[in-house]
Amino acid sequence: MGTGADASRRRPHGLLMCLITPGRSVTFVAAEQELDGFIAKFDEAMRVRIRSCRQWMRARLPDAVELVYDNYNFLVIGFGPTPRPSEAIFSLAAHKRGILLCFLQRAPELNDPANLLRGTGKVVRNVALTDADELNRDEVGLLIDQALTLAKIPMSAAEGPTLVIRSISAKQRPRR
């Protein structure tokens, strides 16, 4: 977002949204509490995995806009430069048995010599993560770097950090 008058404006892109602007201390309290409630639906081991993977992604993409979807099948946390879902570059998709790192833009074009990418779609691929340490693998880092290079809008233009709760499904599969 910018500085000055533009930075203090809030644009409603989801149910809850908080901005951090330069020189001001604004917290994500409402959105973070909502996300904590979504994560709490999982068993303890998955809660730890989800939180540690999210922490890793936030450290790697500190200005990303996070888009959260508590859907029927998955809890999804997308990461991109803007609040527009179509511009998200990555997502973490958690279900009761695991967590996936999804590459959301031009994934078939990624050079993947280790054959980590799963899927056959025209746009999206994913990597199954056993824990956040998988994100530190050189092969995964190479895929992340390539995805950032191929992104429609670069992360250098990011409008975050922002957390947006985009969708909550009334009906959901069991998370435990």
48-71 pLDDT per residue, tens: 999 999 999 999 999 999 999 888
124-162 pLDDT per residue, tens: 999 999 999 999 999 999 999 999 999 999 999 988 798
**Is the distance from CB of 92 to CB of 101 less than 8 angstroms?**
yes
Residues 6+ apart with CB under 8 A from 64: 57, 58, 79, 80, 81, 155, 158, 160, 161
60-116 pLDDT per residue, tens: 999 999 999 888 889 999 999 999 999 999 999 999 889 999 999 999 999 999 999
Residues 6+ apart with CB under 8 A from 62: 160, 161
Which residue is it, tokens 């939180």?
51
**Is the distance from CB of 69 to CB of 78 less than 8 angstroms?**
yes
The β-bridge partners of 100 are 93, 128
The predicted structure's pLDDT at residue 133: 94
SS3 content of the chain, % helix, strand, coil (to 5): 35, 25, 45
Dihedral sign of CA atoms 81, 86, 92, 96 in order = positive
Residues 6+ apart with CB under 8 A from 35: 68, 77, 163, 165
- Letter for the amino acid at 97? R
| Token reading at 7 | 């930075």
- Letter for the amino acid at 71? N
| Token reading at 170 | 């009334």
Between residues 34 and 26, the one the model is more confident about:
34
pTM strictly above 0.85? no
**Does residue 173 have a pLDDT over 80?**
no
Between residues 25 and 116, the one the model is more confident about:
116
